[in-house]
Structure 1
Amino acid sequence: MPYGVLGPTLAGPAVAAGGARVRALLARLLLDAGRVVPLPRLIDDLYGENPPAGAVNAVQSSVSRLRREVPISYDGSGYRLDVGPDEVDVHRFTRLAADGRSALRTGDFAAAASLLTEALALWRGEALADVRSAPFAVVAADRLEEQRRQAAEDRIEAELHVRPSADAEGELRTLLALAPLREHTWALLMRALAAGGRPAEALAAFEEARRVLAESLGVDPSPELQAVHTGILRGDAGPARRRLPAQLTSFVSRPELDRAREALRTARLVTLVGPGGAGKTRLSLEVAGRHPGEACLVELAGIGPDDVARSVLDALGLRDTGLRDRSAGPDTLDRLLAALSTRELLLVLDNCEHLLGAAAALAGRLLVACPGLRVLATSREPLGVTGEVRVPVAGLPIEAGVRLFAERGASAAGFALTAADEAAVRQIVRTLDGLPLALELAAARLPVLPVDELARRVGDRFRVLSRGSSTAESRHQTLWNLVAWSWDLLTPGEQSLARDFTVFRGGAGLDAIEQVCGLGAETLDVLDGLVSKSLIERDGSRYRMLSTIRAFCAAQGPASADRHASYFLQLARTADAHLRGPDQLIWLDRLDADRDNLHAAVRHGSGEVALRLVAALSFYWWLRGARGEAAALAGELLGRVGPSAPPGLAEEYLLCRLNAGPSQRDEHPARYLQTLDRPPAQPFLLYLSAFAAGPPESTDDDLMEVQESLRARLRGSPWCEALASVGSAWIGLFRGDPAWAEREFALALVSFQALGERWGMMLAQSGLAELAIARGDRQAARSPMDEALRLAAELHSDVDLAEMLRTRGDARMLGGDPDGAAADFTESMALATACGAPEVVASSRLGLARLALHQGDRAEALELARIALAECPSGWYTADGVRLSIKLVLGQAAADPQEAAHWYRQVVEEASGPDAINVVAAARAALESL
């Protein structure tokens, strides 16, 4: 604790400096840390009833000296030490002691022992040891010492429940020497001696307590003491006996602990269900250790189904003493039923999966006949007994996994987790699904592998994690053996489905499993078996497999990649049609759920299937701002397919090239648009083609004729016709015909509203907003821009959101809101970077450059514009338009007229992309003025 009074006064890591009066002032403020202590009370506490004449000045002087070390404030009435209560040992002690006592009263003895041990560890000596001369200190110290004694008694009582022994005898006798009339302390001493197997000494302690009470108070022992005395005489005093093995390593807490304990409060059979290595055994021991009554562990690993009852009998210490047959026959079971019929007991049946029927039968029989019995089982599948409550046990959460790895690493190799190592450890935890056994095996490699190298190699988990504790069972010594134990318990059908399931990425729904895994009508029953055996997990309506189990099952034989690719092609096609209608959001979520599967299908499907998949996913990728992923997948596919389109796949091939990026686009988009005589089979091809090729080369006079011709060729596809209106509107805006643009944007908005298609509505609304900004009416731009931003956020369309934020930034800059503009440009850059839209990153950085220019910072504007030019791609007209605008700003920001002229001439010569007319006009005007 940085501050403390439970010993010499602390201000930081060292004893507080200064004289006794300064330390006393600090101690008094620490007792009320975070609260104002009125000045009159402070003077009384420090000086008593007759303070000296200069007491106020003395306090102020002491405060001034203290402020060099600690934060103190004055509110006009008194002084306050500005630190949190948990930074002061006395307040932390009080909280921990109260929490520990509360846990003790509710029967959570292990938690109580831990909390109270932590509380008492804060004491460094006598309370207020170096300020006892101050009037307040004596009373405060006595009160704190009483709280210390109470906490010590509570801790000892909790420990007697967790692990009964006489270990606390010496501490209890010390407490009695200080306070011999505390009857509860005598009771604890008697219980401890009895728990340690020393009942005669416990009875002698009772007689000594009786004598002390009679001589000092003239009273007999209290009912509590008499009850303990009677219990010792009967042989049943003290906490319940526990037959649980001591653990050699620490336990990292996990959410399942509380769930299992809560379940045991109401249910009599609770089963911890999870895959091998998930830590079910250790968790069961922690649950049993916190159980308020008697508990016993029965280890079932390595025995046969006929030996279950005998194993329980042996674990309870009820071994046969004769020479007759000890097999699990009627005599054994009858003895077990008789022994448990009146007993309050938690029976832990560990590792039930390989003898599930026998374990379930015995548990059911015992629970019916023994009303005081509770059973906690661990298994890779439920026992299936009536009334069973299942508590799933999965891998540890990331933070808990990091703690476990660090603790085991410290034991194995003196490993100390640092900030530099944390990323590697997190990667190890994620790769190993947080499975405790796998993390322990990984930590055991730290003596020979540095943590970053271990993180790099742990993907080859079965080779790297091949050496565990020599004292562990063979299946726990290597990760391969652990999973193989589960595999060998599967039926042939379950092995087949588990092997085929490995083709999925990120899990799958039931329909996909039925179609891909090829078991037909048997799929549901077989899948149920794998879920019950913890080889597959159900997460809502989807199923998933831990990567460790998946790696093992994949090694058992090939899965059906062709069926997988065919199924997800059909899903993508079905979804694509719905993406252009009112169910857009539903199908976006549906595709999101299987995004990993869809991308895997592109990679392992045949060339034809993969091209059709890329075509069907193009609109989805655009809506989700996944341009980087799309480009990578499309580029890989082009390398497989070759330089020309396969027969009958011209549109699909062109979409693949358009998705792959500017280097793959060349003249194909323009040629495609010129030859288009019907709506494309994949409608989004129209948008990507226009995006890459730019507006048609035509004069203002034949603009309407060109657009009407295109609309006629698209007739029969309402979505394509509406999109054509958006394109027509932008052409009108770029060529200086705002009336034309407004009519076309309005027509597009009405058409997309009729379809219920949000992305199209967003395009039309953002176009109307830009049109209003272009004519200087920022008030009129607000409503359509807000609506466009709302639609983009609803769609999670990061590319579009980034572009609109950039547009709003321009409007805010022109409207005199530089801070708002800078925020919009910065957020736009972040979104565009995340979704792989470099031209939007460049245009947003250009916005920041323009803003710097507006504020007179030419050097900053020049630097930002140069970066924007370097990061802006070329090859399609929107990016070329951004490059043109960047060069205009480079000319405007240049201090040297010759450099400025160089950039202006480039703008005039290149003159490409949207807004070229306005940019070129500005460059020509600037050249004339030089």
Structure 2
Amino acid sequence: MRFEILGPARVLDEDGEPVVLGGPRVRGLLTLLALDAGRVVGAERLAAALYGPEPPEGVANALQAQVSRLRRALGRDQVEFHPAGYRLAADPQDVDAHRFERLAGAGRQALDAGDPRRAAPLLGEALALWRGPPLADAPHAEAAAAGLEELRLAAVEDRVQADLELGAHRELVAELRRLTAAHPLRERMRAQLMRALYGSGRQAEALTAYDDARRILDEELGVEPGAELAAAQLAVLRADPSLAATAAPVSRQGLRAQLTSFVGRAEELRQVGAQLTAARLVTLIGPGGAGKTRLVLEAAEQATGDVCFVQLAPVTSPADVPKAVLAALGIRDTRLSGHDRPPAVDPVSHLLAALADRGLLLVLDNCEHLIAAVAELADLLLASCPALRVLATSREALGITGESILPVAPLRLPPPDAANPFDYPAVRLFADRAAAVRQPVDETNLAQVAGICRALDGLPLAIELAAARLRTMSVGDVAARLDDRFRLLARGSRTALPRHQTLRAVVAWSWDLLDEREQRMARRLTVFVGGATPASAERVCGLPEEVLFSLAEKSLVEVVDGRYRMLETIRAFCAEQLAESGETEAMREAHAAHYLALAVEADGHLRTAEQLEWLSRLDEESGNLAATIRWSAETGRTALGLRILAYSACYWWMRGHRGTSADLAHGLLAGMGQTPPAGLQEEYALCVLVAAWGRQPGDDLRARLKTLHRLLPAEYLSTRLEFLTMMLPMFTGPPDDYEGVRKLMAQYAGALPPWSQALTHCGVAFMLQIMGRGGDARAEFERSLAEFRAVGERWGTTLALSGLAELAYEQGDYAVSRALADQGLRTSQELGSVADMAECLCLSADSVARLGDLDEARAGYLRAAEMARRIGSGDTLAKAHVGLGELAVLRGDLGEARALMEQALAECSGDWYSSEEVRARIQTGLTGLAEIVSER
């Protein structure tokens, strides 16, 4: 909690919201306890200060009643009872009066040390804590209030002295006239007014001010001016150089000295400096918590010339924007009273007059809630004040001609496989802030820290809030609680703006600035995974894409390669809003329907010349496709999930996403019986096959695979789900009647679409190869290859090339086999199919080994193994390891050979017929190895 007694008593909770205290006696009691926060205050002293010289009867009971009321407002633990009295259990620095004394003292020390540039912001911060007469709710504490008021006046004089030494003579004249009128006997203020007038080129007025001071002192006290005032007069008469600024005449108004290091923004800081050189208006935009304010503070410190920092977050009315700028500049209201005085000057005109010929960098921070008013004022000031530059921060651009926009993105994050996460700014920031609470980041928790930073999107504020929790938690505890990030990150700096003290407050501020349609789009957009295109967002969310563009302009969504996506923290907040709106189910249904339509449309293009374009598009939408299938399984919408999965199967196969898609298929099958839904036999069959291609089948999946024979005849050829035509034989195994099936496939081939025709010829070629008819098989493979190339389909082309390579290998033509396998490798690289690349590498390495280049063969097998391991393809990994085992035999390393072959046998877990071929090769190798050992 924060306690404020420099004005009417007020208590702010951790979220910056006022605590309801009750009547004047309770506020008075709080004031007295806060004045001595952390120390016991005697009951008699409290009663005297609370009730004055005539306390009521039973004053002890009356005091106890007020204590009870205060405890109800603050909590029992906050107001402690002691035998000698009562104690407010608070850090004195949580009380504005104590904080004021500390800051004012630090400012005075800096001034005495000859550092006015450091003194000015400290004293300005101290004086900004005052909201009215001190101890206003404790009228009988006159002595303490008078002491605080005297400290305030001294701090004002010190701050004026610092500003004078920094050369702000003109800006101080109006303020000092008001101060000397209110405090006519304070000689230091009179001397400061003389110095300000002289420094503004008004020597005669400076001497007149001295004459006025001497007259008032004589009339009021009958004394002559003191030494300081007399010295000021003499200095003006002599045009003493000491009246000029003692520091470089550069003003840094409103800039606070930072208490933490500046991490990870060196490049952005350079960009700000470069843009300020090239443009007079630069606006930093980005989501809340991205570090825009800290960045402009650092940029302002590096800027040459005068700087004024204006914090607009507390400003609530557009009309108060120019007043806030005037206040930050230290230009006080100079309106005069009386019917014969000239009318007051409006704030904008006052600003224009003050800045007309002044070279100044004006920093306008947190403009988003006053965007129109700030834009209007900035435009007018820049047009009227040619030496002025403006640096602004906002969650959207000001929209002024000539504005230079610099997006401030979250800090760069380490990928999961980063060799050294410390190379990334997000992790360095966490480590820096963690060190401040004595929780070092080292090798034992570095991976968890990197995970925390990724989960928090690299947002500096979120990272700092997470690091702050290490006061009471371990890194592991913080990582484990990130699912409830808004509850976890709810304790920030007590002195920060209320909306920067918790993660929820940061996002809620942005949310509250949206209109109703923008809020609707933002919450509905959370059904997407990995973002959405404008067309998808419009169709699913039911709002024009212009609303999405507006969210991007306000930094609620970011645009990456044409896709609009939310940071995970913003998405989590907006998802809460979606749940509260009751729209979740309807949005999920709209999302699933959209992606079913996309999957159906895309499937028809995947086996054409447009293949690469559609694969790339599905890459972008893979997260959304998977999400719809998971949701279908979780909510019992089996038919919907089966259809989406069936039309996504070809994409997953070509991209090698076999493990992930198998998990999705298992999720759907877990909620189904052994009988497919009516009319969805083909979709069900593909779901079973997809489930089987990524893992060793269990009893349930084996039973389902067997039922496919009854569901679909062996000669099944589909024109609706073409991919099923290819998948079915891979699991059901080669037919017993090769010749009959070959003739049947040839009979149907002419009626099939081009891709299916090409695939049919490839299937016939494999059958002929098994039948030992190599010449006929080669002709069918070559026909298939020509047809696939005519279609422009690379996966089929790779399949036909692999068949030709295997055939050449079987016939001992290893050079041709290698050349064909390498062609297949290049084609699969164009496709981006890691699974097929690994297969082709194994084929090529087999031939290279036979040609005698064992080192090159080993490199090929190792590369294939790495790819297969990455995508979880056990059979291909087994092929690579058995190949390496065979090479080890040739080198005479029988121990390594056995280890590699046994490893390959454990990895070969598939149930399809090609898995049997790999197992047979492994067994042959192990048998041969045993024979070699026995002969020795």
Q: Tell me how far apart the structure 1 counterparts of residues 481 and 247 of structure 2 sit (CA, whole Å).
A: 55
Deviations 1:282-301 (A, max 9, x none): 11111111112211100111
Deviations 1:47-84 (A, max 9, x none): xxxxxxxxxxxxxxxxxxxxxxxxxxxxxxxxxxxxxx
Shift of 1:673: 6.0
Q: Which residue of 2 aligns with 1:577?
A: 604
Shift of 1:842: 1.2
Q: Which residue of 1 aligns with 2:327?
A: 314
2:624 is aligned with 1:597: yes
User: For 1:113-192, what aligned pairs fall within 5 Å after superposition?
Assistant: none
Counting matched residue pairs gives: 678
Q: Which residue of 2 aligns with 1:619?
A: 650
Q: Which residue of 2 aligns with 1:728?
A: 764
Q: Tell me how far apart the structure 1 counterparts of residues 811 and 240 of structure 2 sit (CA, whole Å).
A: 97
Q: Tell me how far apart the structure 2 counterparts of residues 779 and 516 of structure 1 sit (CA, whole Å).
A: 54
Q: Tell me how far apart the structure 1 counterparts of residues 628 and 268 of structure 2 sit (CA, whole Å).
A: 36
User: For 1:131-530, what aligned pairs fall within 5 Å after superposition?
Assistant: 235=245, 238-243=248-253, 244-254=255-265, 255-303=267-315, 304-320=317-333, 330-398=345-413, 399-411=424-436, 413-519=437-543, 523-530=544-551
Shift of 1:497: 0.4
Give the 3-state SS of the residue equivalent to 1:845 in structure 2. Answer: helix
Selected match of 2:884 from 845, 848, 861: 848
Q: Which residue of 1 aligns with 2:87?
A: none
Give the 3-state SS of the residue equivalent to 1:278 in structure 2. Answer: coil
Give the 3-state SS of the residue equivalent to 1:555 in structure 2. Answer: helix
Shift of 1:311: 1.1
Contact 1:770 1:807 (C-alpha < 8 Å) held by counterparts: yes
Q: Tell me how far apart the structure 2 counterparts of residues 449 and 409 of structure 1 sit (CA, whole Å).
A: 11
Contact 2:263 2:428 (C-alpha < 8 Å) held by counterparts: yes
Give the 3-state SS of the residue equivalent to 1:482 in structure 2. Answer: helix
Q: Which residue of 2 aligns with 1:107?
A: none
Q: Which residue of 1 aligns with 2:747?
A: 712
Q: Which residue of 2 aligns with 1:62?
A: none
Q: Tell me how far apart the structure 1 counterparts of residues 925 and 774 of structure 2 sit (CA, whole Å).
A: 25
Give the 3-state SS of the residue equivalent to 1:766 in structure 2. Answer: helix
Q: Tell me how far apart the structure 2 counterparts of residues 376 and 689 of structure 1 sit (CA, whole Å).
A: 65
Q: Which residue of 2 aligns with 1:829?
A: 865
Contact 1:162 1:290 (C-alpha < 8 Å) held by counterparts: no
Deviations 1:761-785 (A, max 9, x none): 1111122122222222222223322
Q: Which amino acid aligns with 1:276?
A: G
Q: Which amino acid aligns with 2:461?
A: L
Contact 1:160 1:192 (C-alpha < 8 Å) held by counterparts: no
Q: 1:863 to 1:230 in 2, by over 3 A?
A: farther
Q: Which residue of 2 aligns with 1:67?
A: none
Q: Tell me how far apart the structure 2 counterparts of residues 726 and 550 of structure 1 sit (CA, whole Å).
A: 48
Shift of 1:693: 1.6
Contact 2:457 2:568 (C-alpha < 8 Å) held by counterparts: yes
Q: Tell me how far apart the structure 1 counterparts of residues 573 and 652 of structure 2 sit (CA, whole Å).
A: 33
Contact 1:676 1:713 (C-alpha < 8 Å) held by counterparts: no
Give the 3-state SS of the residue equivalent to 1:582 in structure 2. Answer: coil
2:641 is aligned with 1:641: no
Greater CA drift, 608-617 or 865-874: 865-874
Contact 1:621 1:627 (C-alpha < 8 Å) held by counterparts: yes
Give the 3-state SS of the residue equivalent to 2:736 in structure 1. Answer: coil
Deviations 1:480-511 (A, max 9, x none): 11111111111111111000000011011011
Q: Tell me how far apart the structure 1 counterparts of residues 482 and 787 of structure 2 sit (CA, whole Å).
A: 54
Q: Which amino acid aligns with 2:455?
A: T
Q: Tell me how far apart the structure 2 counterparts of residues 533 and 874 of structure 1 sit (CA, whole Å).
A: 51
Q: Tell me how far apart the structure 2 counterparts of residues 162 and 894 of structure 1 sit (CA, whole Å).
A: 85
Q: Which amino acid aligns with 2:409?
A: A
2:771 is aligned with 1:761: no
Unaligned runs of 5+ in 2: 1-113, 121-161, 170-191, 193-238, 414-423
Q: Tell me how far apart the structure 1 counterparts of residues 708 and 901 of structure 2 sit (CA, whole Å).
A: 30
Shift of 1:643: 2.5
Q: CA RMSD in A?
A: 2.9
Contact 2:167 2:247 (C-alpha < 8 Å) held by counterparts: no
Greater CA drift, 637-646 or 801-810: 637-646
Contact 1:859 1:893 (C-alpha < 8 Å) held by counterparts: no
Greater CA drift, 231-240 or 842-851: 231-240
Deviations 1:814-848 (A, max 9, x none): 11111111111111111112112111111211111
Give the 3-state SS of the residue equivalent to 2:721 in structure 1. Answer: coil
Q: Which residue of 2 aligns with 1:681?
A: 720
Unaligned runs of 5+ in 1: 1-158, 166-190, 200-228, 901-928
Shift of 1:895: 5.8
Shift of 1:786: 2.0
- Percentage identity across aligned positions? 46
Q: Which residue of 2 aligns with 1:564?
A: 591
Q: Tell me how far apart the structure 1 counterparts of residues 240 and 608 of structure 2 sit (CA, whole Å).
A: 81
Shift of 1:420: 2.4
2:773 is aligned with 1:737: yes
Shift of 1:760: 0.9
Q: Tell me how far apart the structure 1 counterparts of residues 117 and 929 of structure 2 sit (CA, whole Å).
A: 76
Contact 1:231 1:237 (C-alpha < 8 Å) held by counterparts: no
Q: Which amino acid aligns with 2:684?
A: Y
Q: Which amino acid aligns with 1:401?
A: A
Q: Tell me how far apart the structure 2 counterparts of residues 808 and 671 of structure 1 sit (CA, whole Å).
A: 39
Q: 1:642 to 1:394 in 2, by over 3 A?
A: farther
User: For 1:845-924, what aligned pairs fall within 5 Å after superposition?
Assistant: 845-894=881-930
Q: Which residue of 2 aligns with 1:610?
A: 641
Deviations 1:497-545 (A, max 9, x none): 00000001101101100100012xxx23322321121111122311011
Q: 1:343 to 1:196 in 2, by over 3 A?
A: closer
Shift of 1:379: 1.0
2:686 is aligned with 1:655: yes
Q: Tell me how far apart the structure 2 counterparts of residues 487 and 194 of structure 1 sit (CA, whole Å).
A: 44
Deviations 1:418-467 (A, max 9, x none): 12222111111111111111111101100211112212222321011011
Q: Which residue of 2 aligns with 1:555?
A: 576
Q: Which amino acid aligns with 1:339?
A: A
Q: Which amino acid aligns with 2:691?
A: A
Q: Which amino acid aligns with 1:245?
A: R
Deviations 1:464-483 (A, max 9, x none): 10111111122111111111
Contact 1:753 1:761 (C-alpha < 8 Å) held by counterparts: yes
Deviations 1:292-321 (A, max 9, x none): 221110011122222111111111111125
Q: 1:324 to 1:772 in 2, by over 3 A?
A: farther
Deviations 1:715-755 (A, max 9, x none): 32221121122122222223322112111111101111121
Q: Which residue of 2 aligns with 1:916?
A: none
Q: 1:868 to 1:421 in 2, by over 3 A?
A: same
Give the 3-state SS of the residue equivalent to 2:787 in structure 1. Answer: helix
Q: Which amino acid aligns with 2:264?
A: S
Deviations 1:544-603 (A, max 9, x none): 111001000100124401111111111111111111111111111111111111111111
Shift of 1:250: 0.9
